[in-house]
Amino acid sequence: MSTLFTRILNGEIPGRFVWREPDVSAFLTTGPLADGHTLVVPTEEVDRWTDASPETLAKVMEVARRIGAVQVDIYDAPRAGLIVAGYEINHLHVHVWPSRSMADFNFAAADHNPDPDVLEANARKLREGLRAAGYGEFVPAG
C-alpha cells in the first residue's frame, strides 16, 4: 500500500509543490509551524531515515538545504529549522521552515487548520524565491 506521500507525489492527492525531481520532491505541509513550512520527500518509500541509502539521504538533505536558504532570505528569518521526526507518516521526510527561535520547534503549536489562500501564497512566494536563487529547473509552474 502506498504511503500518503507517495499518493501526493503521484498526483492522487493534491500537493502544493515547490520542488520536483524524479528522486526527490518538496511540498508545503498542511500543518505548518511557520509560513513556508515545507516537507522534502524522496520518491522512494523509505520508512526510517536511518534505512535510507547514503545517496537518498544526501539528496534529501541537499534539497532541504537549498530550500532552507531561500526561506531565510524570503521570510527574513535568522535560521531555517530542520527536523526529521518520522512518526506522522512512515515515509522519510524532512521538515524545513523559516525559524526565529527554539519555540518554533514545537509541533504542538502547528496550525492544523491553515487558510488555503495563505498556503497558496506561501507556495508562490517560495517558488519565486527558488527560481530567483537559480533553481528554476526544479520548480514546478504551480
Annotated catalytic residues are 93
Give the phi and the psi of residue 20 in degrees, each rounded to 5.
-140, 125
**How many other C-beta atoms lie within 10 A of the C-beta of residue 73?**
14
Q: What is the rounded CA–CA span in Å between residue 133 and residue 67? A: 10
Helix, coil or strand: residue 88: coil
DSSP 36: T
